[in-house]
Structure 1
Amino acid sequence: MLLMGDEKMGRKTSFFTGFPGFIASKIIERLMIEEPGMQFILLVQASQLEKAEHQIQTLCQKLFQPPDRFTLIAGDITMPNLGMEEGLLSTLRTDITHVFHLAAIYDLAVPREAAYRVNVEGTRNVNDWCLQLEHIERYIYFSTAYVSGKRTGRIFESELSCGQAFKNFYESTKYEAEALVQAVRSRLPVTIIRPAIVMGDSKTGETDKFDGPYFIMRFLDKFARLPIPYLGKGEGPFNLVPVDYIVEAACFLAMDPIGENKVYHLTDPEPYQAKEVYRLICEALTGKAPRYTVSPSAVASLLAVPAFRRWVMVEKETINYFLLETEYDCSQALKDLQGTGITCPDFADYISIAVRFYKEHRQDHNRTIQIH
């Protein structure tokens, strides 16, 4: 329900892209509690409207909230003015105080054209839309820690363009998109969130897609009865964060004045080595530890064969993230979250919960990533 006249004075109204996606839904759920007067305007692709309506009903029933806190708008970030009808624009320009831009293609194997259209052109359109808003208090853009591409060593939150190459089109287009957002920081109150690889909820294990580290579980499923190998030395850090940490931290940094004009690595400040992550997943899933080591290049060669990667249900681009020699400095995030009680859980403390959820839902096709 759009607010009119005096009703909207002093009222916060958030505008979301990326709903009914998992992280957007979780952020909205938290804000419904923490910001009881906030209205939510959700830009949704026409094909997702039915799913979005069901998700809103679920949230409202769960939290005993009235559905009139929500307005669903059919639109498309790849179009000027986000594909919204002209009649809405004047009202929205005066209502919206917070914009959360999460819509993106996150697939590591995405072709460049599709990734560029959504991630780059879409973000350019969201930027242009935000610049029209009369009362915007914060523009929260969800980037990724992996805009660092193939860089090695310590990566700081203040860094972006360092001449880096990229491992895939997901990374390169998210880099280009963040560069566009960085360019409007002088004209908009921006907060940029760069998560590491996102796991399910640390308390429940809940996730909507079995991608990222869950590809390891898919891989191990196929070989659980055999002696299991390590994938190379795995001496570099493998940075994983549970979604509840991302949600809690992002909501605080988005709504508190401290987060304005900041870039945050929402990464694990003490990540495990890739080898240890693999061992912990293996032990939780199969009950046994890896016993020998194979070359990552050998695994990469197998994953280059379409029939093999479809059989193991693993994207070939995944192997690159086991070879990273990159440390993400998150000093700004730790400083600004100090005293809030919001901290990144230890991977070893929640991996068994993640594995249990995976085992219970691994046959759910809605959580399965299509492998080409």
Structure 2
Amino acid sequence: MEKGYFFTGFPGFICNQLIREVWKKNNYQGHVFALILPGMADKAEIERKKILSELGLSDSSFTIIEGDITRSELLNNPEEVVNLKEKITHVFHLAAIYDLAVPRDIAYKVNVYGTANVNEWIRGLPNVKRYIYFSTAYVVGVREGTLYETELIRPARFKNHYEETKFEAEVLVEGIKKDVPVTIIRPGIVKGHSHTGETIKFDGPYFIMNFLERLKFLPIIPRLGKGEAFVNLVPVDYIIQATAYLSFLEKAAGKTYHLTDPRPYRASELYEIIMQELLNKQPKGSIPLTLGKWFLSIKPIRKYLGVEKEALDYFTWKGNFDNTQAQNDLKDSGIICPDFREGIKPMASFYLRQKDNPSYHINIL
């Protein structure tokens, strides 16, 4: 039977890169079905043609389907449901709201209820061989210390609604493991490609770049707090390669993986590395993080600096992701997480080329 790969989250950056890697992993065999929101049709079609052209595949091997994961029927055309059911062997669920400042109701609608709908739809697929769900390592909320892939423990609280709703969604996915072969992917904070620097939005570590770029006119730029916490950043190419490999690894069924950096840097180290590459400067002095948070609570200031105030929580949170399971199962693949320092030049170069392009910057609320 021909493999049928069903993706949510297209034409998002991680999704479109994963489609390419899944096809490569399977010797360009199989059919891709990508679920898109109707409003994304034009953008999705451009990306579809780009992928087919790059890989030299026929137009008939990639089908775009309109629908919405927040609706229980999922697909807009009921006839497509009947046609698809027998064809799909692998489901990759990436669609979600990835925003630290997302309002709770929107996050629940997409991340939780949307995942519940996808789960229910998958139960009706007779030939599904694997369900790959994209979660986040930060489902741990405020829990600290060593955090394991084998755990899914409800924390005392979450740092934001993004974390909260991804936790609730992962609970739902755990609930169908008895019926469907599931692999859960928990990435760290995703940054651009380790070799090209390519990304499609400046969030996560790029908030530091925004901050430094806006304040580069100052003769002295201070540190933000002590920066003792480790910040787990992973390049998108590692996430893509590891996910594509684990998605077809037999022993990965039923497992959860931390796709995190086994050797992360402290926040203070990242700040210095980025500042040196971006501005050729080193930080001098420091301001308390509480003062930084107060400044970012003022909307005009955080919009000018291009930084979400929620991002500062990750500069003080002291958790360490154990990724033994991922490292063990990736051992024979040759796939390893590149060191952050090795990818800083292309990361900074890409940022500097696109820093004035509004399409890369998220809307700071």
Same-fold call, TM > 0.5? yes
Instruction: Work out whether 1:138 is the aligned partner of 2:130.
Output: yes
Aligned residue in 2 for 1:16 = 7
* Structure 2: 5+ residue stretches without partners: none
Identity score, percent: 46
| Separation in 1, partners of 2:156, 2:123 | 29
- Structure 2 match to 1:28: 19
Please tell me the residue identity of whatever aligns with 2:282: A
Q: Which amino acid aligns with 1:365?
A: P
Stretch moving more, 96-105 or 32-41: 32-41
The corresponding residue for 1:152 is 144
From 178, 195, 202, the equivalent of 1:210 is: 202
Deviation at residue 32 of structure 1 after TM alignment: 2.2
TM-score (norm 2): 0.98
The letter for the 2-side match of 1:260 is A
CA offsets, 1:111-148, max 9 Å, x none?
00000000000000000011000000000000000000
Q: Is the 8 A contact 2:75 2:81 kept in 1?
A: no
Native 8 Å contact 2:6 2:35 kept in 1 = yes
Match of 1:75 among 67, 80, 86: 67
Which of 342, 348, 370 is matched with 2:341 structurally?
348
Stretch moving more, 197-206 or 217-226: 217-226
Q: Displacement of 1:234 after TM fit?
A: 1.0
User: CA–CA distance in 2 between the matches of 1:325 and 1:302?
Assistant: 23
Distance, in Å, in 2 between the alignment partners of 1:207 and 1:12 is 29
Matched, 1:121 2:113: yes
2:17 counterpart letter in structure 1? K
Counterpart in the other structure of 1:6: none
User: Corresponding residue for 1:259?
Assistant: 252
How many residue pairs end up in the alignment? 363
Q: Give the whole-Å Cα distance in 1 for the aligned partners of 2:24 and 2:133.
A: 21
TM-aligned CA deviation for residue 164 of structure 1? 3.2
d(CA) in 2 for partners of 1:215 and 1:162?
28
Distance of 2:257 and 2:317 partners within structure 1:
20
Q: 1:150 to 1:349 in 2, by over 3 A?
A: same
CA contact (8 A) 1:148 1:164 kept: no
Query: Which residue of the partner structure matches residue 192 of structure 1?
Result: 184
Query: 1:84: Cα distance to partner?
Result: 3.2
Amino acid at match of 1:230: R
Q: 1:7 — aligned with what? A: none
Which residue in 2 is equivalent to 1:308? 301
Contact 1:209 1:367 in 2 (8 A): yes
Cα deviations by residue, 1:76-96 (Å, 9 ceiling, x for unpaired): 000013133221112211110
1:283 aligns with 2:279: no
What's the CA shift for 1:109?
Answer: 0.5
Question: Retained in 1: the 8 A contact 2:209–2:278?
Answer: yes
Is contact 1:245–1:342 with CA below 8 Å preserved after alignment? Answer: yes
Q: CA deviation at 1:230?
A: 1.1
The CA distance in 2 between the partners of 1:259 and 1:16, in whole Å, is 19
Structure 1 residue runs of 5 or longer lacking an equivalent are 1-9
Q: Secondary structure at the match of 1:192?
A: strand
- Code of the aligned partner of 1:83: L
Residue deviations 1:228-263, cap 9 Å, x none? Answer: 111111112110000000000000001121211100
CA distance in 1, matches of 2:333, 2:90: 21
Which residue matches 1:4? Answer: none
> Which stretch shifts more, 362-371 or 45-54?
362-371
* In structure 1, distance between residues paired with 2:252 and 2:357: 38
What aligned pairs does 1:223-262 form with structure 2 within 5 A after superposition?
Answer: 223-226=215-218, 227-262=220-255
Do structure 1's residue 361 and structure 2's residue 354 form an aligned pair? yes
Tell me, yes or no, if structure 1 residue 88 matches structure 2 residue 80.
Answer: yes
For 1:67 and 1:296, the matched residues in 2 are separated by: 53
Runs of 4+ in 1 over 4 A off after TM superposition: none
Counterpart of 1:330 in structure 2 is 323
1:319 corresponding residue in structure 2: 312
1:163 and 1:28 map into 2 onto residues whose CA distance is 34
Cα distance between partner residues in 1 of 2:346 and 2:306: 22
Q: Does 1:295 align with 2:285?
A: no
Distance, in Å, in 2 between the alignment partners of 1:225 and 1:306 is 21
TM-score normalised by length of structure 1: 0.96
| Counterparts of 1:16 and 1:335, CA distance in 2 | 27
Residue of 15, 35, 42 corresponding to 2:34: 42
Find the aligned partners of 1:98 and 1:110 in 2 and give their Cα distance.
Answer: 29
| Backbone CA RMSD of aligned residues | 0.9
